[in-house]
Chains A and B, each alone.
Chain A
């Protein structure tokens, strides 16, 4: 499976790292919605017009 158009392998690696960090922090964030918000933000920043 190829990365979505416009995303390099490095972009994907960075996003994977960010998502993992968000999830590992989640226990302390306590509200599940926060993790989804953070992931959404990270993807918005990486995938731009």
Chain B
């Protein structure tokens, strides 16, 4: 996909009608630079609003230009619109989203949305311009919404790709960009088709089969519903985690809070370790109880059994210490163990025969004797069980005290931080506290949902087997069942291929991710996407192992940029190779970046700007005037096809009395 032209109409501070063109090919970078607050993020939001109707503004209902609303009369309608011309897969598109915003009264600077409209045009093979029947779906297929942070990204938050729990986003990016989503869709659709056949089998089968199928459907719906809720809870826990990390990062560098935050880091780590030990201790206690817990309750019965065996022994019913088989073989061989002959009818033979008869008649016999030896072991186990359990319980107590001690220390730190005479620190700490509360509630909810799902899943498996048996009883139901089975077989085959391909791409991309990362960051660290799709920054420790390191925001940001750049580059390579034997379609993807340098220092800024033109076939970059330094211009200038200044007219200087931004094209240096 390549973006050609963007049109903004009364979109936030972009008053009136404004247009920009984007460059591609050799000069693949389009630069927008401006002062803080000049509208860089608004420009990025123009893309996300067009594609997904989403913006990141605090006041997301204020989309219409204030100046346009101020100039309008009450009841007038203002058009707010973003139109984008782009090409994808050799098809030319024009997508346009607009709101009709009505001004209510004289001082109304927000307006009321009266109408919403989204239209996507495309030019077909014959050159005719056609309207897409489902414009939302068309845009979502081109850049799925879940990937908006990858392709329309804010440099201030892009380091999130390396945060814990972001493997899902990394994995989705790989699947989408490489065209593996085709497989993912096939899997989902085969599952739906299988369900249709199952319903057909039920309709054609017995009433019992219909009831079972309905029951199964109900359970599956419940699992789907819980899984959806689980995803929402997990995502929101990830957000909380990320916000907490940010707050901690900030507190760590705020002079007055540094020491307390560092102490909190140490205590938090000790608390985590104590909690782990606590969990281990609980596991050990439960193992002891499940293995030996019955013994104390059985001791009465065991004692009675012992007495019973003693009685039997006294009655001579247990006196033989020799197994019946041994006696039989002596009689058969006609020779005693001491090698004396045992002839038939001799007193020795009679004695052996009597012993054998007693052994066979006895109620308990040899088994009773064996049991008798176990009774001794059981008594020993009882003693060690009580000993082990008492030690574990005492550990539990001290671990609980340790956890409580750390929790109290953390509370003291929270209290001390909130007492610091600095509004910002107090504000951060208060937010942290409320996030912790929210986190606890959500963790409980997550546990409940996981429990519910794991209880239903085995029931589903049992029902599926019962249904399969029932389906075989009817010929017509059997055919539908065979079709269902075929869909399930294909689904399993696609799942296998899907997993394999994801890993192939992951391995292929890793070399590039690391090369790019190391070209900017010191060589002792490297970046990789691990087997569970986590983007990590590692450091070698010893010859064979590496450990994840806790790096700065800047380094995480570089790792994230390296990942996006490598992915887009690999997708481009696969797309241009156009190898019919390849399983990946790949594609061309532009990247829109607001503040790509985020919090990087000047040296990294220069290195990143040298890397940007290599990242994609098309780069749109928005930077602050202060970041648009000579060094950055030196790296990007030769690659920039278009350059724009976001020229702000402040409210105090504007004749209208309202702030607005004009996108002003700048002259480009011609490179010989």
Interface of A toward B, CB cutoff 8 Å: 1, 3-7, 12, 15-16, 19-20, 22-24, 26-27, 30-32, 35-36, 39-40, 43-44, 46-49
Contacts and interface: CB of A to CB of B under 8 A. Distances in A.
B482 A6 contact: yes
A12 B141 CA distance: 28
Given A1-B492, A19-B186, A39 B486 contact: no
The 7 closest A-B pairs by CB, nearest first: A4-B485, A30-B134, A39-B193, A23-B182, A47-B483, A36-B192, A40-B193
B277 to A, nearest CB: 43
Contacts of A39: 189-190, 193, 487
A15 B490 contact: yes
Contacts of A22: 186, 189
A47 B479 CA distance: 8
A1 B139 CA distance: 38
Given A23-B185, A43-B487, A4 B482 contact: yes
A36 B492 contact: no
A30 B485 CA distance: 27
A21 to B, nearest CB: 10
Contacts of A1: 489, 492
Q: Is the interface of B mostly helix, strand, loop or mixed?
A: helix
A19 B517 CA distance: 39
A5 B164 CA distance: 45
A5 B490 contact: no
Indicate the size class of the contact surface on chain B. 20 to 34
B482 A35 contact: no
Contacts of B492: 1
Q: Is the interface of A mostly helix, strand, loop or mixed?
A: helix
Given A20-B186, A30-B137, A43-B193, 10 more contacts: A16-B493, A20-B182, A24-B585, A26-B185, A27-B138, A30-B132, A36-B196, A46-B486, A47-B479, A47-B486
B292 interface: no
A40 B196 CA distance: 8
B137 A19 contact: no
A15 B189 CA distance: 14
Given A30-B132, A44-B483, A49-B479, A3 B489 contact: yes
A28 B185 CA distance: 14
A43 B483 contact: yes
B301 interface: no
A24 B141 CA distance: 11
28 contacts: A4-B489, A5-B482, A7-B486, A7-B489, A16-B493, A16-B494, A19-B186, A19-B494, A20-B182, A20-B186, A22-B189, A23-B182, A23-B183, A24-B182, A26-B185, A27-B141, A30-B138, A31-B133, A31-B134, A32-B189, A35-B185, A36-B196, A39-B190, A40-B197, A43-B197, A47-B479, A47-B482, A49-B479
Contacts of B182: 20, 23-24
Interface in B187-208: 189-190, 192-193, 196-197
Interface string B196-222: 110000000000000000000000000
B138 A23 contact: no
Interface in B474-507: 475, 479, 482-483, 485-487, 489-490, 492-494
Contacts of B133: 30-31
B490 A16 contact: yes
B316 to A, nearest CB: 63
B141 A15 contact: no
Contacts of A4: 482, 485-486, 489
Nearest to A18: B490
Contact of B190 (A19, A26, A30, A31): A19
A15 B415 CA distance: 65
Interface in B129-148: 132-134, 137-138, 141
A12 B493 contact: yes
Contacts of A16: 490, 493-494
